[in-house]
Homo-oligomer: A and B are copies of this chain.
């Protein structure tokens, strides 16, 4: 009875009133709220000292939102064996029901789904890619106060053809050191697969970005830099120089956190989960 079962959780949150994903003492964080709710609803097993620890695909910063966040959780067999009073549901389904009830006071976070993780699944290292959206309300349309939770308000009109032209320059496998907050022992080489801009139905400017993974504050730096380009304060040649230098520069402004939403995390087919995890662990933890 000393094995563990791994579960996959699909999570959404409004980051406004959270100090980011990762647990921090005395601060309200998404991980903290979820883990506290889990401990409340999980069955207890005699002699098993267990605290639920979530491993997440995208460690979002303070103020960043998520609609398609993914995490995993290992639960000792002894606790799973205890089960819930309702036995007609699977353990995962019943845990989801109880967790949703416990979270219903916290309308800013929801766990949409809990399911048995396929063998080899690791929320962080099995992921093939992450997709983010960054939303801006510029001066093209009257300001909508209801959009202020997840839109950056910019007082000028942004030209989407300029934004899209500059975004193309940044695509591909590169050292994004110019756009990353450095982190001890981690590389800033990433593969930026998609980066384009469109206007939504309400004329909102929406940036769509997809990469194998993003380093710390990378999306916000990419968006911030491109808005500088659109405003005519940074030209394409200089943007390319900064990219090639792969070092932080004050010319690159970071866009505010609240415009950013993690939309989705993509995983390979079940039979490739373990090898994908092996591979990314090797690259990113060098």
What is A's interface to B at a CB cutoff of 8 Å? Answer: 10, 12-14, 65, 67, 107-110, 112-113, 142-146, 148-150, 153, 201, 261
With A65-B145, A146-B261 given, name 18 new contacts (CB 8 A): A10-B142, A12-B142, A12-B143, A12-B144, A13-B145, A14-B145, A14-B146, A65-B146, A67-B146, A108-B145, A109-B145, A110-B142, A110-B145, A112-B143, A113-B142, A146-B150, A149-B149, A201-B201
State how many copies of this chain the complex holds.
2
- Establish whether residues A110 and B146, one from each chain, have CB atoms under 8 Å apart when the complex forms: no
Q: Give the distance to chain B from A64, nearest Cβ to Cβ, in Å.
A: 12
Q: Tell me the complex Cα distance, A60–B112, Å.
A: 34
Q: Give the distance to chain B from A262, nearest Cβ to Cβ, in Å.
A: 12
Q: Tell me the complex Cα distance, A142–B13, Å.
A: 12
| Contact partner, A146, options B10, B112, B149, Cβ 8 Å | B149
Interfacial chain B residues near A148, Cβ < 8 Å:
14, 107-108
Q: Give the distance to chain B from A156, nearest Cβ to Cβ, in Å.
A: 14
Q: Tell me the complex Cα distance, A151–B153, Å.
A: 22
Q: Tell me the complex Cα distance, A10–B12, Å.
A: 35
Interfacial chain B residues near A12, Cβ < 8 Å:
142-145
Q: Give the distance to chain B from A148, nearest Cβ to Cβ, in Å.
A: 5
Q: Tell me the complex Cα distance, A261–B146, Å.
A: 10
